[in-house]
A and B are shown apart, each in its own frame.
Chain A
Amino acid sequence: MSPVIQKEAFLYKQILTLLVVLAVVTVSGCLGLLWMRQKIEITAQATRQLEEEIVKEERRLQFLNNRIASIHQPQYLLKQIEKHRLPLHPPRADQIFYMDGVPAYNRAYAREDRPEEKRRERDPYRYSIDLAVMESLTPID
Chain B
Amino acid sequence: MSQACVKRSRYRLCTVLLLAGFAMICGRLYFLQVLDAENISSEVESSRKILVKLEPRRGDILDRNGNLLAGTRSRIKLGVDPQVVDTSDVDKLARLAGILDMPFPELMEKCNRKERIDSAGERRTVQWVPLAEIDEDLYDLIRRIDIDGVRGDRFYERYYPGDQMASQVIGFINKEKTPVMGVELALDYYLRGQAGWRETEVDGRRRELAAFREREVESRNGLHVQLTLDLFVQSVIEAAMEDMVGELHPAGASIIVSDPHTGEILGLANYPTFNPNHFWDFPLENQRNRALTDQYEPGSTFKIVPVAAGLEEGVIQPDTIINCGAAEVFYHGVNIRMPNDHRNLGPVPVTTVVTKSSNRGAAQIGMLLGEQRMYEYARRFGFGQDVGWPLAGEISGTLAPVEKWDGLTISRLPTGYAVGTTAMQVHQAMATIANDGVRLRPKLLKEVIDPESQVELPLEPEKGQRVVSVHTARLLREMLMSVVSPEGTASRAALPGYGVAGKTGTSRKIIDGQYSHNHHVGSFSGFFPANKPEVVITVVVDDAQVPGPAYGGLVAAPVFRSIGEKLIPHMAIRKPEKWEPFVVSND
Residues of A within 8 A of B (CB): 37, 40-41, 43-45, 47-48, 58-60, 62-63, 65-66, 69-70, 72-75, 90-93, 95-96, 98, 137-141
Is there contact, CB below 8 Å, between B72 and A73? Answer: no
Is there contact, CB below 8 Å, between B235 and A140? Answer: no
Is there contact, CB below 8 Å, between B141 and A138? Answer: yes
Provide the bound-state CA to CA distance between A92 and B496, in Å. 13
Q: Which residues of B contact A139 (CB under 8 A)?
A: 137
Q: Which of A62, A74, A92, A98 contacts B72 (CB 8 A)?
A: A62
B68 in the interface, Cβ–Cβ < 8 Å?
yes
B90 in the interface, Cβ–Cβ < 8 Å?
no
Q: Which of A59, A72, A92 contacts B74 (CB 8 A)?
A: A59
Is there contact, CB below 8 Å, between A48 and B208? Answer: yes
Question: Which single residue of chain B is at the shortest CB-CB distance from A47?
Answer: B210
- Minimal beta-carbon separation of B137 from chain A (angstroms): 5
Is there contact, CB below 8 Å, between A44 and B210? Answer: yes
Provide the bound-state CA to CA distance between A104 and B423, in Å. 41
Q: Which residues of A contact B572 (CB under 8 A)?
A: 96, 98
Provide the bound-state CA to CA distance between A122 and B162, in Å. 34
Knowing A91-B569, A98-B572, A140-B137, say if A44 contacts B161 (CB, 8 Å): no
Q: Which residues of B contact A58 (CB under 8 A)?
A: 57
Knowing A40-B211, A59-B136, A66-B73, say if A74 contacts B232 (CB, 8 Å): yes
Question: Which single residue of chain B is at the shortest CB-CB distance from A39?
Answer: B211
B165 in the interface, Cβ–Cβ < 8 Å?
yes
Q: How many residue pairs, one in A and one in B, have C-beta atoms under 8 Å apart?
A: 81
Given A75-B238, A140-B137, 6 additional A-B pairs, CB 8 A: A44-B209, A58-B57, A63-B135, A93-B573, A95-B569, A98-B572
Knowing A69-B161, A93-B568, A96-B572, say if A138 contacts B210 (CB, 8 Å): no
Knowing A69-B71, A74-B232, A75-B235, say if A63 contacts B136 (CB, 8 Å): yes
Q: Which 5 A-B pairs have the closest CB atoms?
A: A44-B210, A74-B235, A69-B68, A69-B161, A44-B211
Is there contact, CB below 8 Å, between B74 and A63? Answer: yes
Provide the bound-state CA to CA distance between A40 and B67, in Å. 44
Is there contact, CB below 8 Å, between A98 and B574? Answer: yes
Provide the bound-state CA to CA distance between A62 and B67, in Å. 14
Q: Which residues of A contact B235 (CB under 8 A)?
A: 73-75
- Minimal beta-carbon separation of B198 from chain A (angstroms): 11
Can you list, as one digit per residue, whether each of B238-252 has a CB less than 8 Å from chain A (1) or not (0)? 110000000000000
Q: Which residues of B contact A73 (CB under 8 A)?
A: 161-162, 165, 231, 235
Is there contact, CB below 8 Å, between B71 and A66? Answer: yes
Q: Which residues of A contact B575 (CB under 8 A)?
A: 93
Q: Which residues of A contact B206 (CB under 8 A)?
A: none
- Minimal beta-carbon separation of B206 from chain A (angstroms): 15
B101 in the interface, Cβ–Cβ < 8 Å?
no
Is there contact, CB below 8 Å, between B213 and A66? Answer: no
Is there contact, CB below 8 Å, between B165 and A62? Answer: no
Provide the bound-state CA to CA distance between A65 and B62, in Å. 12
Q: Which residues of B contact A72 (CB under 8 A)?
A: 67
B565 in the interface, Cβ–Cβ < 8 Å?
yes
Provide the bound-state CA to CA distance between A50 and B162, in Å. 34
B566 in the interface, Cβ–Cβ < 8 Å?
yes
Provide the bound-state CA to CA distance between A98 and B575, in Å. 10
Provide the bound-state CA to CA distance between A74 and B236, in Å. 9
16 residue pairs of the A-B complex, CB under 8 angstroms, read: A40-B211, A41-B210, A45-B210, A45-B211, A47-B210, A60-B136, A62-B73, A70-B161, A73-B161, A73-B231, A74-B236, A75-B235, A93-B573, A138-B137, A138-B140, A141-B143
B128 in the interface, Cβ–Cβ < 8 Å?
no
Question: Which single residue of chain A is at the shortest CB-CB distance from B574?
Answer: A98
Is there contact, CB below 8 Å, between B67 and A44? Answer: no
B159 in the interface, Cβ–Cβ < 8 Å?
yes
Question: Which single residue of chain A is at the shortest CB-CB distance from B239?
Answer: A75
- Minimal beta-carbon separation of A68 from chain B (angstroms): 8
Q: Which residues of A contact B231 (CB under 8 A)?
A: 73-74
Is there contact, CB below 8 Å, between A62 and B566? Answer: no
- Residues 133-154 (chain B) with a chain A CB within 8 angstroms: 135-137, 140-141, 143-144
Question: Which single residue of chain A is at the shortest CB-CB distance from B568?
Answer: A93
Provide the bound-state CA to CA distance between A74 and B569, in Å. 15
Most chain B CB within 10 A, of A45, A48, A60, A62, is at: A62
Provide the bound-state CA to CA distance between A45 and B238, in Å. 51
- Minimal beta-carbon separation of A56 from chain B (angstroms): 10
Q: Which residues of A contact B144 (CB under 8 A)?
A: 141
Provide the bound-state CA to CA distance between A66 and B157, in Å. 12
Q: Which residues of A contact B165 (CB under 8 A)?
A: 73, 75
Question: Which single residue of chain B is at the shortest CB-CB distance from A95?
Answer: B569
Provide the bound-state CA to CA distance between A138 and B141, in Å. 9
Provide the bound-state CA to CA distance between A109 and B550, in Å. 49
Provide the bound-state CA to CA distance between A48 and B52, in Å. 14
Is there contact, CB below 8 Å, between A140 and B68? Answer: no
- Residues 194-245 (chain B) with a chain A CB within 8 angstroms: 208-211, 213, 231-232, 235-236, 238-239
Is there contact, CB below 8 Å, between A141 and B210? Answer: no
Q: Which residues of A contact B135 (CB under 8 A)?
A: 63
- Residues 231-288 (chain B) with a chain A CB within 8 angstroms: 231-232, 235-236, 238-239
- Minimal beta-carbon separation of B124 from chain A (angstroms): 35
- Minimal beta-carbon separation of A60 from chain B (angstroms): 7
Q: Which residues of A contact B71 (CB under 8 A)?
A: 62, 65-66, 69
Is there contact, CB below 8 Å, between B67 and A69? Answer: yes
Provide the bound-state CA to CA distance between A130 and B71, in Å. 23
Provide the bound-state CA to CA distance between A140 and B569, in Å. 38
Q: Which residues of B contact A69 (CB under 8 A)?
A: 67-68, 71, 161
Q: Which residues of A contact B238 (CB under 8 A)?
A: 75
Is there contact, CB below 8 Å, between A140 and B74? Answer: no
Is there contact, CB below 8 Å, between B159 and A48? Answer: no
Can you list, as one digit per residue, whether each of B149-187 has a CB less than 8 Å from chain A (1) or not (0)? 000000000010110010000000000000000000000
- Minimal beta-carbon separation of A77 from chain B (angstroms): 9
Provide the bound-state CA to CA distance between A41 and B212, in Å. 8
- Minimal beta-carbon separation of A131 from chain B (angstroms): 14
Q: Which residues of A contact B73 (CB under 8 A)?
A: 62-63, 66
Provide the bound-state CA to CA distance between A141 and B137, in Å. 8
- Minimal beta-carbon separation of B308 from chain A (angstroms): 30
